[in-house]
Amino acid sequence: MTETLPPAGIDLFDVARLQFTEAEEPPLSPSDELARDRVWTEATQANPTLFDGPVVACGGLEWTGPRVLRLSWVRVTYRHYALRRVPGATALPSLFVNVVQPTDDGRVLAARMSSSTAAPGRWQLPGGSVEPPQDGQVLEASALAEQAARELAEELGVGTATEDLTLWVVTRGENGSVGATYLAPPLPEATLRAAFCAAAAAERAKGRMPELDDIALLRSPEELAGLTGTHADYLEPIVRRYAGRR
């Protein structure tokens, strides 16, 4: 028997295993489709780095067993999320992966999004939107872990084997967005800072602006107040949860 989750809020779910079921994108009315495209065009004119690539949205969550969460997923593109700015329209929640990268003295790394991104100045965990599998293939838990490892390497310059990442918690934010959060092995602060600087320098050498422009190491959620800028809604409860492990 399945158990439907409570209404969306800032929630953390203790999950040992994820199951996946693909669903179809809900149809749009012609007026909502036109409004969505208009909002997307305005957004890309304001920020030309935005692109309408394929991503995975979340169609629903439900428990199917102790610490087993089934996720209904939908193939969309980034344009879909322009519906959030269309009055009366409904956008599916986004699905993303991120990584808790601790230091060996118990702090959690937070990263700040650069000015070229869709959320400039926002502090969050390293990570990104989930990419869909090729047509005809299914989404699997291993694919999420692989994407989490890739995000860690691309954004922080930290090479961590997929098998060394542990699914730690699933978050659901204020707008319903769902995140699969993985826990990475601890590393020394000096290693993390050197890797981040090297990854950023490599991006600039290619003529690209790094996706992240700063990092901070947090021992407690109270330290978030000392960071200039906004932060992802999941960041405070994630840092609090990790601090509680010590």
Stretch 217-243: mean pLDDT:
94
pLDDT at residue 180 in the model? 96
**Does the pLDDT at position 79 exceed 50?**
yes
- Where residue 209 falls among pLDDT bands split at 50, 70, 90? confident
Tell me the percentage of the chain whose pLDDT exceeds 70.
96
175 — pLDDT class (breaks 50, 70, 90): confident
Check whether domain 3-243 has CATH 3.90.79.10, yes or no: yes
| Residue range 129-151: mean pLDDT, rounded | 91
Indicate left, alpha or beta for 53 from its phi (over 0: left) and psi (-120 to 50: alpha).
beta
Question: What's the CA gap between 59 and 17, in Å, rounded?
Answer: 18
Rounded to the nearest 10 degrees, what angle do helices 189-205 and 141-156 cross at? 80
Q: How confident is the model at residue 93 (pLDDT cuts 50, 70, 90)?
A: very high
Give the residue from 66, 65, 75 showing the smallest Cα distance to 21. 75
Q: Is the pLDDT reported for residue 4 higher than 70? A: no
Where do the structural domains in the chain lie, given as residue ranges?
Answer: 3-243
Q: What is the mean pLDDT of residues 169-190?
A: 94
Backbone angles phi, psi at 213, to 5 degrees: -115, 0
pLDDT tens readout for residues 182-208: 999 999 999 999 999 999 999 999 988
Model pLDDT for residues 39-71, shown as the tens digit of each residue:
999 999 998 888 899 999 999 999 999 999 999
Of the listed ranges 3-7, 157-161, 184-188, 200-204, the one predicted with least confidence? 3-7
73: DSSP letter: E
| pLDDT over 80 at 7, yes or no | no
pLDDT at 84 over 80: yes
pLDDT at position 246 is 58
Distance (Å, whole) CA 229 – CA 91 = 26
Among the residue ranges 162-171, 218-227, 237-246, the one predicted with the least confidence is 237-246
Across the range 133-140, mean pLDDT stands at 86
Give the chain's mean pLDDT: 91
List, in sequence order, every residue forming a beta bridge with 166; answer none if it has no partner.
Answer: 183
**Spatial separation of the C-alpha atoms in residues 157 and 162, rounded to whole Å:** 15
**Residue 95 exposed, middle or buried by CB count within 10 Å (0-12, 13-18, 19+):** buried
Q: What is the pLDDT, as a whole number, of residue 2?
A: 41
